Amino acid sequence: MDLKRKLEILADAAKYDASCASSGSAKRNSLGGRGMGSTEGMGICHSYAPDGRCISLLKILLTNFCIYDCLYCVNRVSSNTPRARFTVEEVVRLTLDFYARNYIEGLFLSSGIIRDADYTMEQLVLVAKTLRVVHDFRGYIHLKAIADASTDQLAQAGKYADRVSVNLELPQETSLKALAPEKDALTIKQSMATLRAHIDETRAEPKAPKFAPGGQSTQVIVGADDSTDRTIIEKSATLYGSYRLRRVYYSAFSPIPDSSKHLPLKSAPLIREHRLYQADWLMRFYGFASHEIIESSADGMLDLDVDPKLAWALRHREFFPIDINRATREELLRVPGLGTRSVSRIVAARRNRRIREEDLRRLRLPIKRVLPFVKFAGHQSHRALDADALAASLKADAGGSKPGQLALFS
Ligand code: SF4
């Protein structure tokens, strides 16, 4: 099989993995004439999932031959899909060639399980090692770790890759058992713990060689089993706390050809995935605890009509209005419409003067969304609005208008 055909098959086979953003790595570049590539800059190569999401990087599998039979995966052993396998040298050459042509910013490499977990991990590591050691490649490398691989192989992966990720796959252990019988939740957790131990060790010792400077991440498939958003959010909170993951990626399940009867026939709505990302950001950057985000939902699901921060504010009107000139940063972060940057700008601006409505307008904040929840001289918050009217008007503002072509000159 020629290289182009292999690339078609193995890039297509990799598109279901959403965990390939290149954020958070250490700065490294080839300025000064040594080496090649850098971890900075824009992603150049994009792959598209069937539902239209744009996913960056040269994102390929080493092979889509796999001895496992995960029911949700198009590459499972029982699937009737075209198969291919790159050699280590082929992946190295493709990466260097694409990098040199400015097509990509780095490599995201995963694989089906070839012979066993350790052998597969060894092959993935060999690609990264060859790029780094033989070719002095300084671009971004994300290796997907095979959960059952030995601690030695995981240690090697972190030595050469910017980021290493072990996929959690499904939020509940019972679902993992049912849909991915060869995988084991305990082994996945142990691999995450091993990676965390190495990352912590090198961070505590600044002179030690870097280990996965972009940290570790994972991916959770949303909508392949009956897990609620509450289960997923709580699982993510545990992962961030226990293994200090840099990111949890949420990938809306999309049906695959000849799929098992145990799987849904329809894709999970992308808006569900989007709300989970918003909830995730609230936990990581806005000081929300996981239980606050979804506290009163009877069915354990996030509201698809409004973002989870606005939903929390509408449930907790007793917290508002807050005084925009006196509130702490933590309180300001709870105000719908205020992001981390706008809060920093408000805090900086109020050192010099009392904040008024024109200041909020100057900061280009979504005024209609912010005003009901804040107070300042000359502004009475919209407390008079009854509960339904406030919720309805903000919901309409958040997404009620019909999509349409924006005017170039308006
Ligand atoms: S291990 Fe499971 S998820 Fe990974 S490629 Fe094989 S069948 Fe797919």
Residue ranges per domain, the chain?
A: 3-293, 308-397
Centre of ligand 1 to C-alpha 276, Å, is: 24
Ligand 1, residue 74: give the atom nearest the CA.
8
Q: 4-18, 110-124, 268-282: which has the minimum mean pLDDT? A: 4-18
- For atom 5 of ligand 1, the residue with the nearest CA is 112
Q: pLDDT tens-digit profile of 94-110?
A: 999 998 988 888 899 99
Q: Tens digits of per-residue pLDDT, 209-251?
A: 889 988 999 999 999 999 999 999 999 999 999 999 999 999 9
Q: Which atom of ligand 1 is nearest to the CA of 67?
A: 6
- Single-letter amino acid code for the residue at 284: R
Task: Report pLDDT for 104.
Answer: 85
4-13, 37-46, 243-252, range with the lowest pLDDT: 37-46
pLDDT at residue 31, rounded to an integer: 57
**For the domain 3-293, what is the CATH superfamily, name and number?**
Aldolase class I (3.20.20.70)
pLDDT band at 118 (very low <50, low <70, confident <90, very high): very high
Expressed in angstroms and rounded, the spacing between residue 75 Cα and the centre of ligand 1 is 6
In this structure, the residue with its CA closest to atom 7 of ligand 1 is 76
Question: Is pLDDT at 410 greater than 90 in this prediction?
Answer: no
Could you tell me the distance, in angstroms and rounded to a whole number, from the CA of residue 95 to the centre of ligand 1? Answer: 23
pLDDT band for position 18 (cuts 50, 70, 90): low
pLDDT of 40 > 50? The answer is no
Pocket-forming residues, ligand 1, beta carbon under 6 Å: 66, 68, 70, 73, 75-76, 112-113, 180
- List the single range of 21-35, 126-140, 185-199 with lowest mean pLDDT: 21-35
Residue of 9, 16, 19, 66 with the most ligand 1 atoms within 8 Å of its CB, for mutation: 66
State the distance from the centre of ligand 1 to the C-alpha of 73, rounded, in angstroms: 6
Residue to mutate (ligand 1; options 65, 75, 114; most atoms within 8 A of CB): 75
**Alpha carbon distance 335, 374 (integer Å):** 8
Please provide the size of the chain in residues: 410
Measured from the Cα of 111, ligand 1's closest atom is 5
Mean pLDDT of 77-90: 95
More confident residue, 389 or 74: 74
List the residue whose alpha carbon is closest to atom 2 of ligand 1: 70
The predicted structure's pLDDT at residue 56: 65
Question: Which of 192-201, 276-285, 325-334, 385-394 is least confident?
Answer: 385-394
Q: Is the pTM of this model over 0.75?
A: yes
- Residue 387's pLDDT is 62
User: Span 155-176, mean pLDDT?
Assistant: 94
For residue 243, the one-letter residue type is Y
Residue to substitute in 9, 15, 59, 70 for testing ligand 1 pocket (most ligand atoms within 8 angstroms of CB): 70
Of 9-18, 45-54, 300-309, 348-357, give the lowest mean pLDDT range.
45-54
